[in-house]
């Protein structure tokens, strides 16, 4: 299990607004290429967005599903990029005055990524997620309002 944190100079509601916009994911999630379609009720539990991940010319088309959502507090996702991986991602938002601490917990559950030795898997996922959270911070802090 990989755990990453970052502090963002914005309220939990401002961070959650970005997390609630599936079309923003390719702008902050490292490896995400594009969003192909989004369910109209995203980010309600059970809703999905359909995406493509990878780098040209290799592109995996799959989806990410919301497992649980607590507006301005938490978003739990099941991200699929089969056959490479299926991962559980828990994004927790903790108010720190006028800032937000984002805690990202990810666990590879299926596919070749889940078969890597745990220390190797955690380092690789942790590196990617640190980079992703840095991009999320920049995206949230540049957004008006």
What domains can be seen in the chain, in order of their start residue?
2-30+67-142 (3.30.530.20)
Residue 143 scores a pLDDT above 90: no
Q: How far apart are CA 110 and CA 102, in angstroms?
A: 25
Q: How confident is the model at residue 145 (pLDDT cuts 50, 70, 90)?
A: low
pTM of the model: 0.92
DSSP letters, 38-63, are E-TTTTSTT-EEEEEEEETTEEEEEE
**Separation of alpha carbons 113 and 107, rounded Å:** 10
């Amino acid at each position: 299990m990989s755990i990453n944190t970052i502090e963002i100079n914005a309220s939990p509601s401002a961070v959650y607004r970005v997390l609630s916009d599936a079309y923003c994911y390719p702008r902050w999630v490292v490896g995400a290429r594009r969003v192909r379609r989004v369910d109209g009720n995203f980010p309600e539990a059970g809703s999905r967005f359909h995406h493509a991940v990878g780098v040209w010319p290799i592109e995996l088309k799959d989806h990410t599903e919301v497992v649980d959502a607590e507006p301005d507090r938490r978003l739990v996702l099941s991200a699929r990029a089969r056959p490479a991986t299926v991962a559980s991602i828990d994004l927790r938002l903790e108010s720190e005055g006028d800032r937000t601490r984002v805690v990202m917990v990810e666990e590879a559950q299926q596919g070749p990524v889940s078969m890597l030795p745990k220390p190797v898997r955690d380092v690789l996922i942790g590196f990617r997620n640190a980079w992703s959270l840095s991009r999320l911070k920049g995206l949230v802090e540049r957004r008006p309002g």
